[in-house]
Amino acid sequence: MRAVIQRVSEASVKVEGEVVAKIDKGLLVLLGIEEADTKTDIQWLSKKICNLRIFNDSDGVMNHSMLDVHGEAIVVSQFTLHASTKKGNRPSYIRAAKPEIAIPLYENFILQFEKDLGKKVGKGIFGADMKVALLNDGPVTIIIDTKNKE
């Protein structure tokens, strides 16, 4: 799994002009799923995101996690995070999981993330043409790949 995590002051997702998710202070998580992903990836990534200390404390130092600030979250599935641009100019998405594999993993990630966070999270609609709006706070953007735990 690959995630792009953005600390936001606000974020929303629209599908066909209708808002399907909206948050204030928290995280927008763009989630790319590949066929090799497992429950272990889900559990590790969810805990890692919940505990990332990327929110400012009273001294303006990034010392607080989502759990500390009681932040909100939106998770959006994004297969393009697994784009390969090695050959030519047209990205290949061969590493991205097909919907029959990706949808259950996406839904299980959301369930695990809600459990770890202790609250419901907003989500996009898998496979839909989504319009994602955000006000990146900082800006703070972190990329995490469960296959390359740096």
**Residues belonging to the active site:** 80
State the DSSP string of the chain: -EEEEEEEEEEEEEETTEEEEEESSEEEEEEE-BTT--HHHHHHHHHHHHH---EE-TTS-EEE-HHHHT-EEEEEE-GGGG-B-SSSSSPB-TTBPPHHHHHHHHHHHHHHHHHHHTS--EE--TTS-EEEEEEEEEEEEEEEETTS--
